[in-house]
Structure 1
Amino acid sequence: MYEYLNGKLAFKCPTYVVLDVNGIGYHINISLHTFGNIKDKELCKLFISFQVKEDSHTLYGFADEGERRLFNHLLSVSGIGANTGRMILSSITPVEIQAAIVQGDVKQIQRIKGIGPKSAQRIILELQDKLKKEGPDTLINIPHHQSAYEEALTALVMLGFNKTQADKVLAETVKANTTQLTVEELIKVALKRL
């Protein structure tokens, strides 16, 4: 529903901020990692994850898109809620979390407060393949001005295809065509070949 909010920081503390966006104050929960990235700023842009429960509608904000993607991955694990996901991202850096999951480092994940051995194993079991498939650059921000080739590759990866295979098929498609294809044309051709 919300992609990001951009505005003036009316209030900030290590657990939440109040972001003034055109006269409306949004209470946004943040991780310590995000707080470290925005603590010296007056104006900021936070990528938002909007969580709805029976009794609340809560905004979680992140300084970069990669941290938000990792947060949403963590929420997909059964037994991991938004507050636990925020605790995980506050305990160690997103890059360290991703590396621990991909490498199957249960001990590193268990060091996080509130995560026991079963939860650590569940996180690794449910996310290891997803994060391996996305590749090591999953926490890098997606550029806003991408070529048709890059946009098609991003779309195929988001559809669940292996990045290496999709990249190979797109490269072959571009090489075989003398005219420049649009993003839609590249995706259609690649879908037939994947």
Structure 2
Amino acid sequence: MYEFIKGNIVEISAANVVIEAGGVGYFVNISLNSYSVLNGKKDAKLFLHQIVREDAHTLYGFANTSERELFRNLISVNGVGASTAIMMLSSLSPDELRAAVTTENVAVLKAVKGIGAKTAQRIIIDLKDKLGKIPESGQILSVADNTIRNESLSALVMLGFVKKDAEKIVSKILQEQPEATVESVIKQALKRL
């Protein structure tokens, strides 16, 4: 099993990166969170998880060990494969994902493409205790913050904005102003989008 890879970024997209290390180009699948960290850099160090199947050897890379640990916890849940786990880590930040599981917020998990109610409940049941023990890299949103965030996002999406862009702006606004109301978040987001 590989622990990490360090080298030059040859090619990067939102879903994968090619890193040259020792004269070999490694194709590594990444989450959108890791892409945000790597984008614009020439060199990278990614912590790896390798999945070996009869027909493929696949590498998944993460900007930090806590995101990799969260990925490993997700794929340990019955019915959640590597692609689904990467989709979850691309749709939600690691802290948002932990918060959704620890507060048993099924709606946030169901909002991720490919996650239904049963899978969301299974993730919560299997990981609630485990995720409480993983060191957190930032602050967790409270249930009230999640409600404000979700209402703001759904309003912006209904107004025709792309969900990914709206999520980034709303998250940034809530970090800057944790006491913001839904109305103020929407107004500020409209100015920034």
Q: Secondary structure at the match of 2:77?
A: coil
Q: Which moved more, 1:49-58 or 1:109-118?
A: 49-58
- Larger Rg over CA atoms: 1
Write the letter of the residue equivalent to 2:81.
G
Which residue of 2 is the match for residue 124 of structure 1?
124
Which residue of 2 is the match for residue 39 of structure 1?
39
Is the CA contact (8 Å cut-off) linking 1:67 and 1:94 kept in structure 2? yes
Q: For the residues of structure 2 that align with 1:110 and 1:53, how far apart are their CA atoms?
A: 28
Q: Deviations over 1:56-93 (max 9, x none)?
A: 11000011111000000000000100000100000110
What is the percentage of aligned positions where both structures have the same residue?
44
Which residue of 2 is the match for residue 70 of structure 1?
70
Which residue of 2 is the match for residue 12 of structure 1?
12
User: How far did 1:40 drift?
Assistant: 1.3
Which residue of 2 is the match for residue 112 of structure 1?
112
Q: Deviations over 1:105-161 (max 9, x none)?
A: 1111111011010000000000001112x15x2458xxxxxxxxxxxxxxxxxxxxx
TM-score normalised by the chain length of structure 1: 0.69
Which residue of 1 is the match for residue 172 of structure 2?
none
Which residue of 2 is the match for residue 90 of structure 1?
90
Is the CA contact (8 Å cut-off) linking 1:2 and 1:48 kept in structure 2? yes
TM-score normalised by the chain length of structure 2: 0.69
Shift >6 Å, 4+ stretches: none
Write the letter of the residue equivalent to 2:40.
D
User: How far did 1:54 drift?
Assistant: 2.2
Is the CA contact (8 Å cut-off) linking 2:95 and 2:136 kept in structure 1? no
Q: Secondary structure at the match of 1:20?
A: strand
Q: For the residues of structure 2 that align with 1:53 and 1:22, how far apart are their CA atoms?
A: 25
2:35 is the alignment partner of 1:22: no
What 5-or-longer segments of structure 1 have no aligned partner? Answer: 141-194
Q: For the residues of structure 1 that align with 2:55 and 2:79, how far apart are their CA atoms?
A: 18
RMSD over aligned CA atoms reads: 1.1
Q: For the residues of structure 2 that align with 1:139 and 1:102, how far apart are their CA atoms?
A: 15
User: How far did 1:49 drift?
Assistant: 0.5
Q: Residue 117 and residue 104 in structure 1: after superposition, are their counterparts in 2 closer, same or farther (change >3 A)?
A: same
Q: For the residues of structure 1 that align with 2:127 and 2:88, how far apart are their CA atoms?
A: 14
Which residue of 2 is the match for residue 156 of structure 1?
none
What 5-or-longer segments of structure 2 have no aligned partner? Answer: 139-193
Q: How many residues align?
A: 138
Q: Residue 56 and residue 139 in structure 1: after superposition, are their counterparts in 2 closer, same or farther (change >3 A)?
A: farther
